Amino acid sequence: MARFDPANYAAPVTALLGEPRLMPLDRGEPNRAAFDQLSGLDEARLFDGRPVRHREMARACLAGLWLYHGFLDESHRISQALHGRDGSYWHGIMHRREGDFANAKYWFAAPGRIRSMRR
């Protein structure tokens, strides 16, 4: 498995990941200093304009970045719109962080079934 290297992403992403953060096991507090940088990102900007080969994975990266900085609502909005296992994973992590354990369990189990129901 390849090691994650934030330098493979655009400079704003590298900057967002440059500050080591311990993830709280609850909602935590959003990192307001990162909000403007996060708001300016989209799939194309993640990779400095290079072609995005897997759009759903790029969106999952965005959901993860929002969650990394404590913006649960923004992460939820993105992950809820993803229909694959990566979206289910980030969706589950977000619900775990907010303390909705039953909903988190649902999304962690979701990759093995068709997502026909929104929670």
Residue 50 resides in a domain: yes
Mean pLDDT of successive 10-residue stretches along the chain, which has 119 residues: 76 86 87 94 85 90 95 96 91 94 91 52
Phi and psi based region of residue 99 (left: phi greater than 0; alpha: psi -120 to 50; beta: remaining): left
Residue 54 resides in a domain: yes
Q: Count up the domains in the chain and report the number.
A: 1
Residue 57 resides in a domain: yes
- Amino acid 116: pLDDT: 47
Question: Residue 85 maps to which CATH number?
Answer: 1.25.40
Query: By residue range, what is the domain housing residue 58?
Result: 9-17+33-112
Residue 77 resides in a domain: yes
Residue 3 resides in a domain: no
